[in-house]
Amino acid sequence: MARPVVRQESPYADALRAVALAGLSVLLLSGCQTAKEAANCPVANILASTARLTKFKPNMDGDPAGELFTIQITGVKSGCSFDKDEGTTDASLDITFRATRPPTGAAANYTAPYFVAAVQNGSSVISKKVLGTAFTFQPGEASLTFTENVPSIVTKFANGTKPYEYGLLVGLQLTREQFEYNTRLDPLEP
């Protein structure tokens, strides 16, 4: 006949369970705090009509044979800290780009201007910051994906407004000709 196995608990078992439960509670509560803080952060979005920029060789604007590269913003992630006393948020953004070019054997370095705008109620621009991203195609490389970090975009809330009334828009800083070229490629864009 098999003998029953008797487990003896350590005299510290109850204390260890209490510490583990307290640790789990702190972890769960910190998750709630993060969600609450996130609700006070402006939501970041891509302005669709400015998500693509095509650069041409001189005097070849709009001619596909003269295309140097096309760059698109494919994603944006944000995080922020909220200062209730000051009525501000300080957001950081990770913007993902995808650049393509016609096949070529040469390496090439390019830059493209992009912007981050703080907006209220989806359309009123409060501030706008124009930045630039540099990227390099290696010999024979026709496409690349990379991420640019924008470490600090401060938004000050007007008195009586709520954080959810604000947002951040990112896009490529286009010339009129580049915007019109995009519109010809995709007539559904505004």
Cross-strand pairs, 61:
none
* Least-confidence region, from 30-34, 75-79, 85-89: 30-34
**Element of type H or E holding 135:** strand 124-137
- The CATH T-level fold of domain 42-185 is Immunoglobulin-like (2.60.40)
**Cβ distance 142 to 102 under 8 Å?**
yes
More confident residue, 14 or 139: 139
Q: What is the pLDDT of residues 124-154, one digit of tens each?
A: 899 999 999 999 999 999 999 999 999 999 9
127-154: string of b/e by CB count within 10 Å (b at 16+)?
Answer: eeeeeebebebeeebeebeeebebeebe
Q: What is the pLDDT of residues 58-68, one digit of tens each?
A: 988 888 888 99
Contacts of 189 (CB under 8 A, 6+ apart): 48, 49, 182, 183
> Residue 31: what pLDDT?
37
Q: What are phi and psi of 22, to 5 degrees?
A: -65, -40
3-state helix, strand, coil in the chain (%, to 5): 25, 45, 30
Query: Which sequence spans correspond to the domains of the chain?
Result: 12-41, 42-185
Contacts of 52 (CB under 8 A, 6+ apart): 70, 71, 72, 73, 172, 182, 185
* Strands 108-120, 166-172: pairing kind: antiparallel
Q: What is the pLDDT of residues 166-190, one digit of tens each?
A: 999 999 999 999 999 888 877 554 4
d(CA 104, CA 39): 47
Contacts of 160 (CB under 8 A, 6+ apart): none
